[in-house]
Each structure stands twice: as C-alpha cells, then as structure tokens.
C-alpha cells in the first residue's frame, strides 16, 4: 500500500460519481445483468453477482431495479453480447490509469476512450503498460466510529485479510481476492458496517500531484467516468489534504 490512503482517492472520485447517479445506475444495472448471465442468478454461488449487487445497494439502487436486472440476465438472451476489457493508459503527470470496461462494441469503445485520454493530456497505452503497477485486492473502508482497531484486526485477519491499518478517521482493510467473500461475511456477521467494500486494483505506489496537475487529472477521471462503457476507473495518484482543500476552494 506504500503508506498512502486508497480511500482518499476513492472519496475524490465518489464526489464525481454522485453527481451522475442516473448514469451510475445504468452501469451497475449492466454489471448485474452480465454477472447473472455468466454465473446464474444466485449471489451465494456467484461472487461477481454478489459483488455487483453489493455495489448497487451501496449506491442506493432500488431493490426492484436490482431484481429486474438479475431476471433479465438470467433470460436466454440479453440481446447483446458484452465483453469485459481492461484499458490502460497515462494521465497528466505520468499517472497510471486503468479502465474496467463492459462493452458490446470494442471498436467504438476503444475510439472513444482514446479520444478522452488525448483531449485531457493523457494517452491510451498498450496491454500491461501500467497494470503491473497494481495488485488485485479486496478492499474495505470502515469508520473508526463503528469499531475499535483491535476488534477489526481480530475479525478481519481471522477471515483472511492481509492488512488492517488506521488512516485518518477510517480503517483500511485489504485481502486476497479469494478471501473477499469470507471477509465481507465476517464483517456483516459482527455488525461492522463498511464505507466501501469492493474488488479493486490497489496501486503498489502513488504519484503525488499538486493542485494544477491534480485538477487536470480529475477532469480526465470525470470524462472517463462519463463514458457509458467504463465501469470503473482506477489510478495511482494521491493528493494531500491541503491540495484537495485548494481544489475545493476553486470549485
């Protein structure tokens, strides 16, 4: 984790995504349908579906909308065939950027994503140009108001987590991908609420940005998040609290 706060970057991006809740629901709906189509409609035996449903619930997607997406995914044919892709590139300041994609038209998506990178001072790269800088992990954020560090450490590590650390007013928990289900179930059983729970790519190290480059980077993320086929955007930048406050004052 290189001593940085992954949650700080999630918080920045969450502010962007919250402004586009309608578009976010569309992406979550697609993720649920594809997960159900590929692995069946039972989240207990289909981890990608369980993960997609959990993410939708945390975004306050209505229960009936989630259920309709599962039923549609379990139908004989969605009418569309989606491909799961990972696009890699560089943003302003040499920041590594990963885009997790669900698309029914690779050529269209590639052209649109490449254009977004170019317009915002970055460039789309080749396969594995930056993916090697990230580790695939289960990642959880728990408010220190919900549990003591000792209790969280005990519950999480017993379930298979590999790291628990205090970052500001939160605790960050990471685990191997194959332990994600066990960790989230342990947290739920012990009534430890999470601020975020996701399978993601955690950067091995980060690039510290100042306000000028940070502003450009956020605009790139904003544009990528606005692209319909991009499910998630992950990057390895970090900004200090002072820089984030400066950007907030400029907004």
Final residue of a structural domain among 51, 73, 95? 73
Q: What is the pLDDT of residues 105-122, one digit of tens each?
A: 999 999 999 999 999 999
Using the structure block, give the residue that is written with the tokens 């992990």.
Answer: 137
Do 14 and 127 fall into the same domain?
no
Do 128 and 210 lie in one domain? The reply is yes
Q: Is residue 1 part of a domain?
A: no
Does the structure show a pLDDT above 90 at 186?
yes
**Mean pLDDT score, 46-70:** 89
> Helix (H, G, I), strand (E, B), or coil: what is residue 175?
strand
Compute the CA torsion angle 210, 97, 184, 84 (nearest 10 deg).
Answer: 160
- Percent of the chain with pLDDT strictly greater than 90: 56
Q: Is the pLDDT at 9 greater than 70, yes or no?
A: no
Using only the alpha carbons of the chain, give its radius of gyration. Answer: 18
Q: Which CATH number is 95's domain given?
A: 3.30.70.980
The pLDDT-based confidence of 220 (bands split at 50, 70, 90) is very high
Q: Compute φ and ψ for 69, nearest 5 degrees.
A: -65, -40
Residues 123 and 137 in one domain: no
Query: 146 with 122, same domain?
Result: no
Q: Contact, 106 vs 83, CB < 8 A?
A: yes
Choosing from 41, 73, 105, the residue where a domain stops is: 73
* Predicted local distance difference test score (pLDDT) of residue 21: 62
In a domain, 78, yes or no: no
CB neighbours of 179 closer than 8 A, spacing ≥ 6? Answer: 138, 159, 160, 161, 162
Q: Considering the domain boundaries, does residue 51 fall inside one?
A: yes
- 32 occurs within a structural domain: yes
Three-state SS at 173: strand
- Orientation angle between helical segments 211-225 and 106-119, nearest 10 degrees: 160
137 and 106 within one domain: no
Residues 105 and 222 reside in one and the same domain = yes
What distance in Å separates the CA atoms of residue 127 and residue 114, rounded to the nearest whole number?
14
Q: At which of 46, 73, 100 does a domain end?
A: 73
Q: Residue range 89-101: average pLDDT?
A: 95
Domain that holds residue 196: 133-203
3 pLDDT tier (thresholds 50, 70, 90) = very low
**Distance of CA 192 to CAs 100, 153, 172, 206, Å?**
29, 12, 13, 29
Q: Is residue 79 included in any domain, yes or no?
A: no
Asked if 137 and 198 sit in the same domain, the reply is yes
Q: Which two tokens stand for residue 216?
A: 């450009």
Would you say residue 14 has pLDDT above 80? no
pLDDT class of 78 with cuts at 50, 70, 90: low
Residue 126: inside a domain = yes
**CATH number assigned to the domain comprising residue 58:** 1.10.10.200
Average of per-residue pLDDT across 42-69: 89
Averaged confidence pLDDT in the chain: 87
Residues 222 and 165 in one domain: no
What is d(CA 91, CA 216) in angstroms, rounded to the nearest whole number? 9
pLDDT at 16: 45
- Distance of alpha carbon 210 from alpha carbon 174, whole angstroms: 27
154 and 49 in a common domain: no
Token pair in block for residue 7: 């949650």
Whether 128 and 230 share a structural domain: yes
Please count the structural domains in the chain: 3
Position 160 in a domain? yes
Do residues 12 and 244 lie in contact, with contact meaning Cβ atoms separated by under 8 Å? yes
Q: What is the pLDDT of residue 193?
A: 92
Output the CA torsion 234→30→140→94 (10° steps).
0
| Residue 160 to residue 177: CA distance in whole angstroms | 10
Q: For residue 195, is it within any domain?
A: yes
Residue 150 CA to residue 52 CA, distance in Å, equals 30
179 and 239 fall within a common domain:
no
Range from 70-84, 151-165, 180-194, 216-230 carrying the lowest mean pLDDT: 70-84
* Same domain assignment for residues 137 and 195: yes
């Amino acid at each position: 984790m290189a001593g940085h706060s992954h949650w700080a970057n999630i918080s920045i991006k969450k502010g962007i995504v919250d402004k586009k809740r309608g578009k976010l629901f569309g992406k979550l709906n697609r993720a649920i349908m594809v997960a159900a189509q590929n692995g069946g409609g039972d989240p207990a035996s289909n981890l990608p579906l369980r993960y997609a449903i959990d993410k939708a619930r945390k975004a306050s997607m209505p229960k009936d909308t989630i259920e309709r997406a599962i039923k549609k995914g379990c139908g004989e044919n969605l009418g569309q065939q989606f491909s799961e892709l990972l696009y890699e590139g560089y943003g302003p300041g040499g920041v590594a950027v990963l885009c997790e994609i669900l698309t029914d038209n690779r050529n269209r998506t590639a052209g649109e994503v490449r254009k977004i990178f170019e317009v915002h001072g970055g460039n789309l790269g080749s396969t594995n140009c930056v993916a090697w800088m990230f580790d695939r992990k289960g990642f959880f954020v728990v408010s220190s108001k919900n549990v003591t560090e000792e209790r969280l450490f005990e519950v999480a590590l017993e379930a298979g987590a590999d790291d628990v650390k205090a970052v500001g007013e939160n605790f960050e928990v990471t685990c191997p991908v194959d332990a994600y289900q066990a960790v989230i179930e342990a947290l739920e059983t012990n009534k430890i609420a999470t601020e975020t729970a996701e399978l993601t790519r955690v950067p091995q190290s980060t690039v510290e940005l100042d306000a000028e480059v940070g502003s450009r980077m956020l605009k790139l993320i904003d544009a990528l998040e606005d692209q319909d086929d991009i499910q998630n955007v992950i990057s390895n930048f970090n900004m200090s609290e002072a820089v984030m406050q400066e950007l907030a004052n400029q907004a």
